[in-house]
């Protein structure tokens, strides 16, 4: 089945018992057993729940992996992946990963003896330079937030395969519609399903897909042992969101391209971060890695007065954190999502006080542009 059909019919399609075209919400904690140990395959809902299993099978199909796992948030998914490692293991992370990922590694897993390096993974030499005897995995986010830095997944996969390391990719910004890391050589792919997969800003969830049985056994052990699972209702809601992923992503990309192009023509815009602009230099390999460039744009304006003018009187776009929903969201990373990073580090990374991040929604693009147009405000 091709992708646009798979988002609708992948995983478990409908309900065999009743013919219902959607998977039922099995709102139950436990399951009756016929005799001791004789059951339908379900014993207790932390271990397995049919509604959760349906969304897990669906994401496994979409990422072309062996098995999927659903968690209560993106952070629960990331934490559960990290719990497959041991004290003394070393992991290399992209240096501008999601802030929550940095925080959980640096403030929580550090206390349990996990060793780590945050490096610019867009440069192969940086990665190789930081590989130690106890390095077990490389964890990559591409594109990154908010500066849209790209890492070549196939190139990193060559490094991890040669050395028997795991390659973990946070695919939140792209979704499997635009980028499939397992096909590019990754071992584990994860999502904050709160963003594009859910797509409607109405739930918080995390998804993981692994490429083989051995990793699936390990991941399921942690999921069941630690218990950071997604509930049946949110699993169902997430499935409903995923069904329109393909058509939403198409419009996100189309709108973002038009907004980025328009921004590039404005004199008050100093810099634009959007890999789809013809002025952004990217390699052929990176161009092939992603089907299109997604719905996220960051741009720097000339001064704070311009920034304030944009933010005052927004009609279509909402000032809010998060991304990936049908509605356009705008944020100022230096003052919102990245406020906890010291000013000098922010400056070095390029997250200036006049940097704006835009999650381009699927509204009429003219309305989105009208909100940004300071010349008519």
Ligand X SMILES: *Cc1c(COP(=O)(O)O)cnc(C)c1O
Q: For 339, list phi and psi in degrees, rounded to 5.
A: -60, -30
Q: Is 195 a catalytic residue?
A: yes
Minimal distance in Å, beta carbon 133 to ligand X? 29
Minimal distance in Å, beta carbon 202 to ligand X? 13
Is residue 289 within the footprint of ligand X (CB under 6 A)? Answer: no
**Which residues in the 15-34 window bind ligand X by CB under 6 A?**
none
CA-wise closest residue to 351 among 323, 324, 332: 332
Closest CB to ligand X among residues 75, 286: 75
Q: For 73, list phi and psi in degrees, rounded to 5.
A: -165, 170
180, with CB counted inside 10 A (0-12, 13-18, 19+), is buried
CA-wise closest residue to 49 among 66, 67, 24: 24
Alpha carbon distance 209, 120 (integer Å): 25
**Catalytic hit among 61, 96, 152, 170:** 170
Q: Which stretch binds ligand X (CB under 6 A): 168-176, 215-223, 293-301, 332-340?
A: 168-176
Q: Is 273 a catalytic residue?
A: no
Among 73, 235, 289, 354, binds ligand X (CB under 6 A): 73
CA distances from 158 to 138, 169, 216, 251, 280 (A): 12, 14, 22, 33, 25
Token pair listed for 79: 């934490």
Helix, strand, coil percentages (3-state) for the chain, rounded to 5, are 40, 15, 45
Minimal distance in Å, beta carbon 272 to ligand X? 20
* # residues contacting ligand X (CB under 6 A): 16
Minimal distance in Å, beta carbon 201 to ligand X? 12
**Which residues in the 180-239 window bind ligand X by CB under 6 A?**
192, 194-195, 204, 206
Q: Which stretch binds ligand X (CB under 6 A): 151-159, 167-175, 330-338, 350-358?
A: 167-175
Among 50, 65, 74, 295, binds ligand X (CB under 6 A): 74
20 C-beta neighbours (distance < 10 Å), count: 10
**Catalytic hit among 26, 96, 98, 139:** 98
Q: Which stretch binds ligand X (CB under 6 A): 70-78, 294-302, 333-341, 350-358?
A: 70-78
**Catalytic hit among 31, 46, 124, 370:** 46
Is residue 48 within the footprint of ligand X (CB under 6 A)? Answer: no
DSSP-assigned letters across all residues of 280-314: S---HHHHHH-SS--SEEEEEES-HHHHHHHHTT-
Q: Is 98 a catalytic residue?
A: yes
CA-wise closest residue to 53 among 83, 84, 10: 10
Residues that bind ligand X (CB under 6 A): 73-75, 98, 100-101, 141, 145, 170, 172-173, 192, 194-195, 204, 206
**Which residues are tagged catalytic?**
46, 98, 170, 195
């Amino acid at each position: 089945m091709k992708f646009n059909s798979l988002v609708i019919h992948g995983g478990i399609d409908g309900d065999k018992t009743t013919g219902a075209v959607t998977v039922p919400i099995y709102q139950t904690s436990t399951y009756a057993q016929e005799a001791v140990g004789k059951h339908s395959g379900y014993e207790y809902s932390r271990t397995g729940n049919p509604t959760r299993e349906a969304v897990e099978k669906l994401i496994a199909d979409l990422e072309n992996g062996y098995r999927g796992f659903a968690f209560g948030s993106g952070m629960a998914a990331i934490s559960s992946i990290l719990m497959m490692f041991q004290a003394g293991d070393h992991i290399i992370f992209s240096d501008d990963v999601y802030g929550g990922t940095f925080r959980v590694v640096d403030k929580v897993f550090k206390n349990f003896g996990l060793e780590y390096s945050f490096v610019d993974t867009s440069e192969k030499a940086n990665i190789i330079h930081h590989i130690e005897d106890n390095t077990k995995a490389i964890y990559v986010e591409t594109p990154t937030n908010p500066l849209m830095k790209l890492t070549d997944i196939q190139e990193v996969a060559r490094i991890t395969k040669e050395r028997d390391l795991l390659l973990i990719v946070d695919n939140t910004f792209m979704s499997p519609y635009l980028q499939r890391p397992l096909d590019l050589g990754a071992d584990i792919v994860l999502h904050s399903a709160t963003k594009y997969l859910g797509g409607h800003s109405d739930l918080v969830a995390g998804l993981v897909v692994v490429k083989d049985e051995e990793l699936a056994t390990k991941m399921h052990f942690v999921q069941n042992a630690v218990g950071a699972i997604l509930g049946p209702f949110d699993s169902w809601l997430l499935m409903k969101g995923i069904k329109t992923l393909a058509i939403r992503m198409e419009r996100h990309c189309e709108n973002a391209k038009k907004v980025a192009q328009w921004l590039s023509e404005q004199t008050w815009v100093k810099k634009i971060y959007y890999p789809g602009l013809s002025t952004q230099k990217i390699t052929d390999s990176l161009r092939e890695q992603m089907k299109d460039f997604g719905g996220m744009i960051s741009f720097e304006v000339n001064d704070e007065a311009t920034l304030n003018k944009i933010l005052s009187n927004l009609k279509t776009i909402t000032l809010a954190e998060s991304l990936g929903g049908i509605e356009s969201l705008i944020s100022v990373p230096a003052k919102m999502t990245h406020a906890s990073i010291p000013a000098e580090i922010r400056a070095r990374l390029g997250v200036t006080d006049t940097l704006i991040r835009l999650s381009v929604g699927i509204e009429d693009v003219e309305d989105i542009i009208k909100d940004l147009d300071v010349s008519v405000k």
